[in-house]
Structures are given as structure tokens and as C-alpha cells.
Chain A
Amino acid sequence: MDLITELTILALAAFVGFEVISKVPNSLHTPLMSATNAIHGIVLLGGILVIGEADGLLSKVLLVIAIAFGTINVVGGFLVTDRMLEMFKVRPKPDEDA
């Protein structure tokens, strides 16, 4: 893929990101942040792509750490976001409860 195509994708995705995320209400900003942390874990792909061609112990160690970091973001981010969002509920009025 050439640079111009990539920059085009980058610019368009930035606009989509702004449009979608600016609609998230203040009350959900903490789960939004942890969900975006999880999406950031996509750097994991970078580690996977590079490690196959890496030579030398140091490069391999760096990349195993990078993959581990990315995985922490992915699994930790999605799990903790799920834990939080599970708690966000609209409670029925107390009188309907009784």
C-alpha cells in the first residue's frame, strides 16, 4: 500500500473516530477510555508482524515484551471495560421494586 493511500485512510478514519466518539456521554467516559486502551492493543499486530524477521536476541526480547504489552492492553482493556459497563444500569424506581 502506498503512503498516499495510507494517509487517506488515516484522515478518513480520524473523521469517523471524531464523529462517533464525540457522541459518547460524559457518564461513559471512563469505560470509553478503557475500551480505547483495548483497541490500542492492536499494536500487538505490529509485534507479530515484525518478530518473524527479527534477528538477534535483543530484537526478539524487545518484541516479546511488545507483544506481551499489547496483549495486556487487549485482554485487560476489554475485560475491565466489560466489568464496568455491567454495572451501568438503569434501576427501576424503588416503588416498582417493592
Chain B
Amino acid sequence: MPLPLASLLTNASFIQILYIVAFVLFIVGMRQVTGPKTARRGNATAAVGMAIAVIATLLTPTVGEYALIALGIVLGTVVGVPAARKVQMTQMPQMVAMFNGVGGGAVALISWAEYRHSLDVGTGNPPLDTLIPILFAAIIGSVSFWGSNIAFGKLQDLIPQKPISVPGQQVLNAVLLVVAIGAAVAIAFGQESQGLFILILVAAAGLGNMVVLPIGGADMPVVISLLNALTGLSAAAAGIALNNVALIVGGIIVGASGTILTNLMAVAMNRSIPNIVAGGFGGGGGGGGGDDGEERPHRSTDAASVAIALTQADQVVVAPGYGLAVAQAQHTVRELGDELEKRGVEVKYAIHPVAGRMPGHMNVLLAEADVSYDALKEMDEINPEFETTNVTLVIGANDVTNPSARDVEDSPIYGMPILDVDKSEAVVVFKRSMGTGFAGIDNPLFYEENTEMLLGDAKQSVNDVLAAVKEL
């Protein structure tokens, strides 16, 4: 007797219900990610949703080749688990770039295989309501895979983080875009050709490379968010092509999240997304900062003097930037904060939305170093407090503290919201050398009367200050 349960399990409606359960869990999970106390549970909730979606798919009667499916899952697990376990928090931007990339790559490969299948079965091109999403998924998936690879390469220092541009870049990008879309339109109008499909993938690959290469390191938070949005949209398109509601909902949630983050990051830099995608910061109006040739006097200080100023303060604010991540100084900074708090000094952390190389980068680093969530203040919250702050320590941050964004109208970063560190009583800038930041823009903060420079490796400098504080 056939088991009634078995037929129920592979029943199309039952599988659809499991998909609905899955995407409800995704949404509930994301809702819980809105607060630090429930966020971890939210992530687990979404993971349960994913498990249900995968099981539902495996139950689908048309699914076959279980051995190959198992092979793919084992391969992915063998690569993914150790990577997730071992990655350092300073390397999170690379990790997310890689995840974006493989996600986009998976979509591009699936759309290619799906198109090959339609040609193989002899029915020719699939109907347009399947074909158009396949073509869309192929273009976006390929752009996102190759763009993410370049972003990964830049963040991992495999490729220079400086904007890399070739002559005629804009023209070349336009040509690649026209080729990709033209080939897609040709297929949509009835051409049945795998060659054209491969041309789409290749042209989109070229576009992904060429668009991300000229973008400088400081713009990475926008790029990573944008690639995140693109992978999400490509998955949603694949969902429409494959008539799979879980893929549609999952993909569009990711697309929505990436779009929100892209906008937030662009607003935090006061730049439009097309402007960022069109080319690097340094390449643009780097000279606009003014007096480039002139050497202006700055005041240097030493660890012992900084230590004295810190221990005498009521409130100290730390403004971290990418340099903190590069120097891996987060633990030392937290130790210094603890030491000062023991002496009754209030220590807060000022987090600019685009500090670091991805949205929320500094928060993760400081959380790793066991800094309390409460001590991390967002820009709008901390800015009014600088006037009552005795000492601000700027550690590895540059452009996000540059007062010319506020005061100098012809500065390329004019209008970008900044941390008003210059309003505090004293500022100590921890910096490797007197060179300019990624934007290549001079920072008048360094020459202010209330600013002192502590040049050298950030971790070493903070360590020296920590030692000096302990001796007092």
C-alpha cells in the first residue's frame, strides 16, 4: 500500500506551503536583526527557514541527480564552514564581497544551464516570461560575480586599492553594456544561440570588472552594498524564471537590503551612486583641497603627553577608521578604554557610517574587542557631544573627520556629513604618516591649533599610550 504520508510529502501544495513557511521565517528573522539582543536569534530563525526551503525543494518530484546535489552541497560546506570559522573580523569586507560574488556566480551558472536545457530538449527558446528573467539573471549575476571578485581582490590587497582606470573607460563600459543587452534582445526576439548567451555572460563579466576597477578603497562600502543588491535582484529574477516563490521572496529581501544600504552609504558620503560608479574619488577633483604644494606646520606629540591629557579628561571620544582595522588595533584600543574608565574617564566611540570598508565595519571590530554595544555612538548622536569632550582620539580615520567637508565649498568632499572631532577641546590624530587619505584630499584638521599628531603604526602608538597611562 502506498503510504499516504509519502504522497502528501511530495504533493505540490505541501511543498508550496513549506516555501511559505520558509519565507515567513526569513522575514521574521530579519525583523529580529533590528536589535542587538534578538539579532542572533533572528539569524538562527532565517537559517531554519533556509533548511525548510532546501528540504521542500529536495521533495519536489522532478528533482533528480541526488548524488550530484550531495556533491555540490558537500563541496560548498567544505569551503564555506572553515572560511566562516577562521575569517578575522578585520577581513569581513572581503568575506562579504566573496559571498556576493559566489551568489551572483551561482545565478549566472543556473541561468546558463537553464538556457542550455531549453535548447537541448529541442523546443528552442523558452517562453518570454521565462526567457526574459533568465537573460536578466545572466547579466546581473555575471556583473555581480566579476565585480565582487575585483572588490575582493582590492580589499585583500591582491589588486591595488587605488582607482585603476584605462583611457576611454566610459566608452568601453558603454560598449560592453550595449553588447550584453543587444545579445539579450536578439535572443528575446527569437535567436536561438548558445553562443549569444555566452557572449552575454562574457560582456557582463567585462562590465563587472571594468566598473569596479576604477573605484577607490574609500568607496568600497557603497560598492559592496550595490553588489549585494544586484545579487539579490538576480536571484529574484531566477526565481521568476524557475517559478519558485521562495527564491523570489528570498532574492528580493536581499535586493531590498542591499538597496537600502547602498543609499545610506551614498548619503553618508554625499555622493550619488552613478557618480561613485562612474569613477574614483582621487581621479575626480583631488586638487580641489587647495594648498597641496605647501608644507603647513603641524604639531607632533608623544605617548606620555597623550597619556597625561587622557587621564585628566572627563570624557574621551575615540573616532576609528579603516587604519584601525589595518593595524588590528581594536583590542589595544579597548584596553586603553578600560584603563581610562578605571580612572573615572568616560570613553565613547564615534562611528561614522562609512568608516572602514563596509557598512558597520567598525562596530564589528569593536564588538570583537569586547567594547560594550552602548559605548558605540552613531554620528548624529555623538556630534553634539564633541563640544563637551576633552580629548578625541582619531585612530586611522581621515576623510570622515575632514572639516573641509563642512567649511570649504570647493572641496571634493564638501557636503559629506563628518564627525565634528575638531570641536573637541583637544584632538590627537594617530596616523602612519602625514600623507593624505584615500580621497587624496588634504585634511585641515591636522593643522588646527587644538590638534596634535602621533605618527606611527596605530597599534604601536596606542600601545605606547596605554603603557604610559598605566605608569601614571
Contact = CB atoms under 8 A, between A and B. Distances in A.
B337 to A, nearest CB: 10
Interface string A36-72: 1111111111111111111110111011111111111
Contacts of A22: 260
A55 B76 contact: no
A42 B109 contact: no
A42 B53 contact: yes
A73 to B, nearest CB: 5
B80 A87 contact: no
Q: Is the interface of B mostly helix, strand, loop or mixed?
A: helix
A40 B232 contact: yes
Contacts of A65: 72, 105-106, 109
Given A26-B378, A90-B373, A47 B110 contact: yes
Interface in B55-71: 57-58, 60, 62-65, 68-69, 71
Contacts of A23: 31, 34
A66 B116 CA distance: 15
Contacts, number: 382
Given A31-B43, A46-B242, A68-B75, A79 B253 contact: no
Interface string B372-387: 1110101000000000
Interface in B222-270: 224-225, 228, 231-232, 235-236, 238-240, 242-261, 264
B249 A9 contact: yes
A84 B112 CA distance: 35
Contact of B84 (A21, A58, A76): A76
Interface residues of B, number: 114
B76 A69 contact: yes
A20 B374 CA distance: 23
B308 interface: no
A79 to B, nearest CB: 4
A35 B57 CA distance: 21
Contacts of B244: 45-46, 49
B80 A75 contact: yes
B9 interface: no
Contacts of B57: 45, 48-49
B80 A76 contact: yes
A15 to B, nearest CB: 8
Contacts of A68: 72-73, 75-76, 79
Interface string B105-133: 11101101110110010000000010000
Interface string B409-431: 00000000000000000000000
Nearest to B342: A94
B106 A69 contact: yes
A98 to B, nearest CB: 10
A44 B54 contact: yes
A26 B54 CA distance: 31
Interface in B21-37: 23, 26-27, 29-31, 33-37
Contact of B69 (A35, A37, A67): A67
A14 B252 CA distance: 6
B372 A89 contact: yes
A64 B248 CA distance: 21
B232 to A, nearest CB: 6
B389 interface: no
Contact of B129 (A3, A48, A76, A87): A3
Given A27-B360, A37-B100, A49-B57, 6 more contacts: A37-B103, A49-B244, A63-B68, A64-B68, A67-B69, A87-B364
Interface of B: 23, 26-27, 29-31, 33-37, 39-40, 42-44, 46-47, 50, 53-54, 57-58, 60, 62-65, 68-69, 71-73, 75-77, 79-81, 83-85, 87, 89, 92, 95-96, 99-100, 102-103, 105-107, 109-110, 112-114, 116-117, 120, 129, 224-225, 228, 231-232, 235-236, 238-240, 242-261, 264, 338, 341-342, 351, 353, 358-361, 363-364, 367-368, 370-374, 376, 378
12 contacts: A25-B35, A30-B360, A32-B33, A35-B43, A36-B232, A37-B103, A40-B250, A40-B254, A42-B50, A54-B113, A69-B76, A73-B102
Interface of A: 1-3, 6-7, 9-10, 13-14, 16-18, 20-56, 58-60, 62-91, 94
Please name the 8 residue pairs, one residue from A and one from B, whose CB atoms are nearest each other, closest first: A71-B76, A67-B72, A17-B256, A29-B360, A52-B64, A76-B80, A91-B372, A29-B359
